[in-house]
Structure 1
Amino acid sequence: MDEIVKEIGLNNNCTFCGVFRRQALDRGAIMVKADKILTGHNADDIAETVYMNILRGDFFRLGKCVDIITAQQADDSGLPRAKPFKYTYEKEIVMYAHFKRLDYFSTECIYSPNAYRGYVRELIKDLEKIRPSTIIDIIHSAEQMKIDVQTVKFPKKMYCTRCGFVSSNELCKACVLLQGLNTGKAKQAIGRKKNDDQVKPID
């Protein structure tokens, strides 16, 4: 990430981290012949994701981001993903780790001071002051949303022509970003001009 930040600055680096991290997790799971991927997403994470998908108008991800088990989708490796901490607050996990004297990371990512998710997190924390059940309410609300598959166009499952990994385009996002880094056009790879520092980051 140090090298990536040198190239693109502190805006939009979450895009690179997220794409590379997810694909590394998928590839690692395939290598060890796993049949399921369990992630540590907690209730806070999921509520933030719901809010971000609504603000972006991303109906495809909104329809599955609250599923406790995500079956095979057009944009993943084919392995089901499960979120065992879906209804567990982040503070509960931290308290458990503290009292059980478990090692855990309690610091924010140093590369994401301008992350889109950070603004959404602050908004949700402000809402919690008014309505303490905000996080669970957001999750339950999203669970009740039904996506009309007749009107929403879902990505078509393809395979990247460069690396062979599952993708919804001719080139997977990881290859697009890598190409941008290798050619000195990292910002163009995420849809930004080289001198455009005013565009808000995408987490």
Structure 2
Amino acid sequence: MAGALGAALIGLHGLGFRWDPLGLVERRLRSAEARTSVASADAAARRFEVESAAAQVRRLDELHQQTVAVVRTTARAATQARSAHDAETPLDPDRVARLAGHDRECAASLPPSAEPPRLTLPEAAATPCVLELLPAAPTLADLEVAYVERGARLVACENARASAVETLTAERALQDRWRGETDARRKPAIWPW
């Protein structure tokens, strides 16, 4: 009798019939699928982080190259201004006062700040912008040099701001992409009890 019952169970098992009154096989399967889903989402997040970090390095390199080019151009322009035929011509006192007022206004303004919560913010983005000021008794050359150097500093500040905005934008895109792929893989949990 026991042999016949065993043979019948083996035969039924071979035909695809399973006897699992507690549903253990299904629970194990769901648990394995959940672990696979979590591991897949984690791997996707790491991949997105690596891609975003590489893109950020490329953008920072471009900004650095632009800053280097501006510094070189500024040095040439400052040299030309100091050697111009009218370099020692004194500026009108009213003009000096007006320019000094503008200098104080610019120096008092706060630097832009944008710190994304997760990606690394480039150091230059958190550095305050320092603009050149005219000396006490400025000449025309001093004015030209100050404004050429101020232009270079403004380009550097704009690059720092752009890198901060780019970091934040990249982080948001990274999070949206990760959420999209994670939500697509997520399945509702069905509990057997």
Q: TM-score, normalised by structure 2?
A: 0.22
Q: Which structure has the greater CA radius of gyration?
A: 2
Q: Greater strand percent: which structure?
A: 1
Q: Greater helix percent: which structure?
A: 2
